[in-house]
Structure 1
């Protein structure tokens, strides 16, 4: 007898979105060490905006959570951590992203602008049918992929 394995293929998948338990991603929490430095990066380098009705502004040294927003999609909550936790995991021996952001501006222009600002980034990678992207390290070492979207 012992442990039994459930054959997941016998389960019926939800057929429409209304049947799904999770309807959307509401918020993604990003660990940061220095809140002002993180806000400056995400707002002034990546173009997020701050909802001043939800956040104390200007950013004060005791702010431990700041909500920032892209043009569309889930909000991001920058969370001041007690330790050195970062967004990333290893896959096939290489660091991988937890946060993938779709960019709206020309990828070459964005890449050049971030290099000029002294941001740590990788070369642009062309993944064919999956589009072009490059990696960015935020000031706290969180690994982010900036993706230009699927080719048309």
Structure 2
């Protein structure tokens, strides 16, 4: 049971159910997300439609909204870092990272953010910036977590 706050309200926000991403071509973008992440259609794409709707593994919807002109979904923080709008939670981040890199996706280097997990940033074909995260210590055995960290961050044996 959720406790009430001081003013008698409880947290009514349960989850994010939909995310809207600006794209130039919804069908092309949907095909890219399906190819690289295995997303499935949440709703059939209507002929002449203005956005494609894909479904994430836990049921949230990713709306790929046709947009004209210059756009992107990121913004700069106070220190000037270009932020992403949201982070995808994943499992088996090492396989996803390898697949995206070898698949020609624009990805940045992996980061070990300690108790926050392992992250990397990628860009979709329209230049939208996204973050990916797995807290391996929470989702894997200690031995598996150590093996993943070693695989991803140990210097290559030359």
- CA RMSD of superposed structures (Å): 2.0
Contact 2:21 2:62 in 1 (8 A): yes
Could you report, residue by residue, the CA deviation over 1:45-91 in whole angstroms, capped at 9, with x for unpaired residues? 0221113xx2237xx5x321111111115211110002222111111
Q: Where does residue 121 of structure 1 map in the other structure?
A: 107
More helix by share: 2
Could you report, residue by residue, the CA deviation over 1:85-130 in whole angstroms, capped at 9, with x for unpaired residues? 21111112111110211112x2222111111110000011000010
Contact 1:35 1:80 in 2 (8 A): yes
Relative CO higher for 1 or 2, CA cutoff 8 Å, sep ≥ 6?
1
Q: Where does residue 6 of structure 1 map in the other structure?
A: none
Q: Name the CA distance, whole Å, in 2 between partners of 1:13 and 1:121.
A: 45
Asked whether 1:87 is paired with 2:73, we answer: yes
| 1:35 positional shift | 1.7
Q: Where does residue 25 of structure 1 map in the other structure?
A: 16
Q: Name the CA distance, whole Å, in 2 between partners of 1:107 and 1:23.
A: 26
TM-score, structure 1 length as denominator? 0.78
Alignment of 1:128-139 (within 5 A): 128-139=114-125
TM-score, structure 2 length as denominator? 0.75
Q: Name the CA distance, whole Å, in 1 between partners of 2:129 and 2:51.
A: 20
Q: Which runs of 5+ in 2 are unaligned?
A: 139-158
- Cα 1:94–1:49 change in 2 (3 A) is same
Q: Where does residue 141 of structure 2 map in the other structure?
A: none
Q: Name the CA distance, whole Å, in 2 between partners of 1:50 and 1:139.
A: 19
The 3-state SS of whatever aligns with 1:87 is coil
The match for 1:96 among 76, 83, 87 is 83
Q: Which runs of 5+ in 1 are unaligned?
A: 1-10
Q: Where does residue 36 of structure 2 map in the other structure?
A: 45
- Cα 1:81–1:20 change in 2 (3 A) is same
Q: Where does residue 146 of structure 2 map in the other structure?
A: none
